[in-house]
Amino acid sequence: MKKSTLILVNLLVINQLSFSQTPTIPTPEFDKNTLLYKGEEKHLSNVKQLTFGGDNAEAYFSFDSKSITFQNTNKEWGNSCDQIYYFKLADADMKAGPPQLISTGKGRTTCSYFLPGDSLILYASTHEGEEACPALPAKREDGKYVWAIYPDFDIYVADLTGKVKVKLTNEPGYDAEGTVSPNGKKIVFTSMRSGDLELFTMDIDGKNVKQVTSELGYDGGAFFSPDSKKLIFRASRPTTEEEVATYKALLEENLVQPTHMELYVCNVDGSDMKKITNLPNASWAPFFHPSGKQIIFSSNHASKRGLPFNLWMVDLEGKNLRQITFDSMFDAFPMFSPDGKKLIFSSNRNNNGTKDTNLFIADWND
């Protein structure tokens, strides 16, 4: 995804994925005044647009729900690939220009998240490997749509002025997609250190690293439950001989093919692993509802082609699947504020026919 050229959530997905599936219900009329699709998006109200150009994604709340950190690609902001920013929600929006830059402005970044106290932000960056933006994967002769898993990614912690305070990972290969537990004690992240893309946890200071998943396939985009006892994440699970061979061959090129992903939940130590979706295409960007009993996520499973991606909810047992947003193009990266009152997400809505993906924040109505 990411997000947003989260390498795992590269927003080129909007233009390149193409499938043939059962069509979703017709897109309702969009209301530019409310920024909602009329009559359908009943869980959202008082929607506000925060950004107005470029690719903006993976916006995550501070522990006090008053600020966000997010990634942005926007040449008008002086960056040519994803960089990390910090924004106080009391400042209304970002029409006047970019907020505080947190990342170094070099390399490519992804997956930022607040640490306890809201004075430090972790994120992944390639800047120590190369100061330039690493190239996106070239179009493949076999036609496969792929995401890059840049081996220079490591996880850093910076203060709110952008000064790097500590480097949390120092293993060869990809380390990224870090998020922090609500109790502030643990970080979950994706790493190639075992030879496959697996989930790991570490203490907030980077110590006590433990492997969580071990099944062949890409495991990523993990978040903790509100009680910090469970993880929700997206995963690919190649099973046939051909799928396994393709997955391993792409991984040798530091690539993954994200066209079919499902959601899994487990205890923080990896026990009690459960698959909670069984849908066509790609289900990803999951996040726990404040109750801990439901998951909000992005999916194109109901789309006639690769688009649209919309937000959906499902119970922790995989039941009661229901649609939350009804965009004609792309909604993803949902996160509830810690106080449970707000939902922030990325969307192509209200972009006046451009390819811009902006951040929106809304009141959440159960």
323-359: pLDDT as tens digits: 999 999 999 999 999 999 999 999 999 999 999 999 9
**For range 222-235, the mean pLDDT:** 98
229 pLDDT more than 50: yes
CA–CA separation, 74 and 234 (whole Å): 27
Mean pLDDT of the chain: 92
3-state secondary structure of 251: helix
Q: Which neighbouring-strand residues pair with 213?
A: none
3-state secondary structure 20-86: CCCCCCCCCCEECCCCEECCCCCCEEEEEECCCCCEEEEEEECCCCCEEEEEEECHHHCCCCCEEEE
Paired tokens of 4 = 């947003």
Question: What is the dihedral sign for C-alpha 124, 48, 100, 79?
Answer: positive
Question: What is the dihedral sign for C-alpha 300, 305, 306, 310?
Answer: negative
End-to-end CA distance of the chain: 26
Q: For 312-326, give one letter per residue: b (16+ CB within 10 A) or e.
A: bbbebebeeeebbbb
CA–CA separation, 231 and 208 (whole Å): 18
Name every residue whose Cβ is closer than 8 Å to that of residue 7 and which is 6 or more positions away in sequence. 108, 110, 147, 148, 149, 150, 153, 176
310 pLDDT more than 70: yes
**For range 303-315, the mean pLDDT:** 91
pLDDT of residue 3: 38
Residue the block writes with tokens 């449970």 = 340
Picking from 60, 55, 25, the residue whose alpha carbon sits closest to that of residue 312 is: 25
Host H or E run for residue 355: none
- Residue pair 358/351 in contact (Cβ under 8 Å)? The answer is yes
Residue the block writes with tokens 């081996």 = 151
pTM value > 0.85: yes
CA–CA separation, 323 and 312 (whole Å): 4
Tens-place pLDDT, residues 163-200: 999 999 999 999 999 999 999 999 999 999 999 999 99
For 7-20+50-322, which CATH superfamily applies? TolB, C-terminal domain (2.120.10.30)
Tens-place pLDDT, residues 9-28: 443 343 333 333 344 457 89
Q: Where are the domains of the chain?
A: 7-20+50-322
**For range 31-39, the mean pLDDT:** 96
